[in-house]
A and B are shown apart, each in its own frame.
Chain A
Amino acid sequence: MPVIDLANPTRFLNLVNRALPWLIATTIVLFAIGLFRAMNAPDDYQQGATVKIMFLHVPAAWLGMLGWAVMAISALGTLVWRHPLADVAGKAAAPIGAAFTFICLVTGSLWGRPTWGTYWVWDARLTSMLVLLLLYLGVLALYWTAEDPGRGARTAAVLSLVGAVNLPIIKFSVDWWNTLHQPASVFRIDGSTIDPAILTPLLIMALAFTLLFVTLHLAVMRNEILRRRVRSMRLLQAQEVHA
């Protein structure tokens, strides 16, 4: 099937219906392996067993940022090509990205208390992540309260593009400013600083969470396409009643 055919919502729905069972099964298997490896990973020599929070916190942070990146790319599709599936993709990514960002912030606080001695500090990494959550809430409010869905989609797309400026700020905040949050330790030019006994379960958990993100994103896109069909059918019904 040519990729362009996926732009047709009906063909997209058929593909999603075929792909979802496989994605769900693979996600469950990866979570089972990842959680088993995470629970049996050795304690950190400084942090002890609290390092197990990292297996949730780090993937949640990555996916919180990935969600906004998906929204920003979708925003281009909405504003430049005015493609209806682009808006569907952007709208579907918002609640999922917000959930992951929320998990990142709360698990980070729960990790910070025993590690740093505090739940929260207003350092650049934590603050820019909180800004990301507030941006998510803003874009969700735009989608859910817009009387005209088309105008709401365009406004949300503009906010998605503007908010994308926050992504490099989050990523490089630990390099640009003096922060309590540690610098990057997984993806570095000189290699990861994490021991393979901890790095391997972290990467498996990250893959499992990423597949969960993809699965949920496709499922929410499917729901949104059905919701738009309901809206258009209700409009037709109303027109027929008045005719």
Chain B
Amino acid sequence: MNLGPHADFIVAAYGLTAFVMAALIAWVILDYAAQRRILGDLEESGVVRRSRRKG
């Protein structure tokens, strides 16, 4: 595949898009793991959500 005389611009555009998307995906995955971990810690310490309380 020949990208011609402006290959740098094309590679930069695809590289930047991949970087931004990867950063967004990584943030979503890490945030999910963090929230699950904190929720697990809270439940382990005996805190029960109002909607799960009996009576």
Residues of A within 8 A of B (CB): 10, 39-40, 43, 48-50, 52-53, 56-57, 60, 95-96, 99, 102-103, 106-107, 110-111, 113-114, 212, 216, 219-220, 222-223, 226-227, 229-230, 232-234, 236-237, 240
Beta-carbon contact of A107 and B13 below 8 Å = yes
The residue that B17 contacts in the complex, of A50, A56, A226, A233, with Cβ under 8 A, is A56
**Residue of B with least CB distance to A113:** B9
**Residue of A with least CB distance to B53:** A236
The residue that A216 contacts in the complex, of B25, B39, B51, with Cβ under 8 A, is B25
Q: Interface size on B (CB < 8 Å)?
A: 33
Beta-carbon contact of A216 and B24 below 8 Å = yes
Beta-carbon contact of A96 and B24 below 8 Å = yes
The residue that A50 contacts in the complex, of B1, B9, B39, with Cβ under 8 A, is B9
Residues of B within 8 A of A (CB): 1-7, 9-10, 12-14, 16-17, 20-21, 24-25, 27-28, 31-32, 35-36, 38-39, 42, 45, 47-51
**Residue of B with least CB distance to A237:** B47
User: DSSP majority for the A interface?
Assistant: helix
Beta-carbon contact of A48 and B4 below 8 Å = yes
- What are the 8 tightest A-B residue pairs by CB atom distance, in nearest-first order? A226-B35, A114-B6, A49-B4, A107-B13, A110-B13, A53-B13, A49-B3, A233-B42
Beta-carbon contact of B47 and A236 below 8 Å = yes
